[in-house]
């Protein structure tokens, strides 16, 4: 498979993956563009790998984790650029307005997480990887992966509880 064939076939998937990691379409496009530029130069080596797609996805993860403009990954975005816009991430049929509100809130909560915590959740729940595979990708132990996941989920729960309390106070 040529690089051009790979890029055409896998670009939508790589962009979705990067959007979930970064929470920002423009930053995701920058990350994927940078990765594909580097992958093009090294395509001969990458195409010889057992799974070129896994290799490039790891490059996307590494680029995200080392991205210099961390403020962009924490930026709060306008409704409409949310997880509900990702076709493969949508649940069943329901109230679209409620889906947008819930996805918007999820993005806000995810933006409060550190990069590694967010990456662990994305790799665990979006990529469906186990702790050992995540540890191999991030370069840490499985226990550290579990710690990152635990702290991230605790932060998300606390943020959700605060949001619920504030909402209850506003409506009473």
Q: What is the CATH number of the domain that holds 32?
A: 1.10.1740.10
**pLDDT above 50 (res 60):** yes
* Distance (Å) of CA 162 to CA 15, 96, 166, 167, 168: 32, 24, 6, 8, 10
More confident position, 4 or 89: 4
Q: Is residue 171 in some structural domain?
A: no
Q: Is residue 70 in some structural domain?
A: yes
More confident position, 34 or 80: 34
Query: How many structural domains compose the chain?
Result: 1
User: pTM (2 decimals)?
Assistant: 0.66
Q: Is residue 71 in some structural domain?
A: yes
Q: Is residue 52 in some structural domain?
A: yes
Q: Is residue 56 in some structural domain?
A: yes
Domain holding 60, by residue range, is 1-75
Q: Is residue 30 in some structural domain?
A: yes
Instruction: Return the C-alpha torsion angle 124, 42, 88, 145, nearest 10.
Output: 10
What share of the chain in percent tops pLDDT 90?
A: 45
Q: Is residue 47 in some structural domain?
A: yes
Q: Is residue 60 in some structural domain?
A: yes
């Amino acid at each position: 498979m040529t690089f051009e064939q790979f890029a055409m076939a896998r670009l939508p998937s790589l962009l979705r993956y990067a959007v979930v990691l970064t929470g920002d379409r423009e930053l995701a496009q920058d990350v994927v563009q940078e990765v594909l530029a580097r992958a093009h130069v090294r395509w001969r080596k990458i195409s010889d790998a057992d799974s070129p797609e896994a290799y490039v996805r790891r490059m996307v993860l590494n680029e995200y984790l080392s991205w210099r403009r961390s403020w962009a990954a924490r930026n709060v975005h306008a409704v409409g650029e949310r997880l509900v816009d990702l076709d493969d991430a949508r649940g069943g049929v329901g109230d679209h307005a409620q889906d947008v509100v819930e996805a918007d809130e999820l993005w806000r909560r995810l933006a409060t997480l550190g990069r590694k915590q967010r990456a662990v959740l994305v790799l665990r729940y979006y990529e469906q990887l186990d702790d050992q595979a995540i540890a191999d990708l991030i370069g840490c132990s499985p226990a550290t992966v579990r710690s990152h996941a635990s702290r991230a989920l605790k932060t998300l729960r606390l943020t959700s509880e605060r949001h619920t309390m504030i909402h209850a106070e506003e409506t009473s």
